[in-house]
Amino acid sequence: MQITADKVVAFDYKLTDDAGELIDSSEGHEPLLYLHGQGGIVEGLERALEGLTVGDHLNITLQPEEGYGLRSDDLVQEVPRDEFEGVDDFEVGMQFEADTPDGPMIFSIIEVGDELIKVDGNHPLAGETLTFDVTVREIRDATDEELEHGHAHEEGGHDHD
């Protein structure tokens, strides 16, 4: 079976940056599972996996535009403390979700001031050239439920809140 739209794919991976430093890996964990064609992984990697079969190996370097995008200074902003309802203690690295005109986004706190909190909406790997070393472990047809939800489910199903 080949990787095509609406197939559930499991793969092992190592992700390194431009300097060859390991960023993430599935080693010691279950393979990463995703529904092909639904945007569950970065665009360049999904495109490169198209047509591969179980056991195939891929080593690909992606420019930022094919990965997590370019960094945008517009996504760094200062927000008054009082706009964070129910939060009293702020720490650099904390993340939160905010509704934006483009839908929900994750922001990270990068600076804490007395009056203002500086946040960054860029993905932590935005602007990075990344190398993925991937081995395809499993390919199967997606279930009707997975297709309806738009993502793969682990064995035994998936509960939504």
Both 113 and 142 in one domain: the answer is: no
* Number of domains present in the structure of the chain: 2
- Residue 107's domain comprises 73-120
| 158 is a domain residue | no
Q: Are residues 19 and 48 in the same domain?
A: yes
CA distance 44 to 128: 13
Tell me what pLDDT residue 157 has. 54
Select from 133, 138, 135 the least CA-distant residue to 152. 138
- 149 with 16: CB under 8 angstroms? no
What CATH code is carried by the domain that includes residue 133? 3.10.50.40
pTM for this one?
0.83
pLDDT of residue 156: 57
Q: Specify the pLDDT at position 56.
A: 98
Interatomic CA distance for residues 142 and 73, integer angstroms: 39
Q: What is the pLDDT of residue 50?
A: 98
For each successive 10 residues of the chain (161 residues), what is the average pLDDT?
A: 97 97 96 95 96 98 96 94 87 90 89 95 95 98 94 70 47
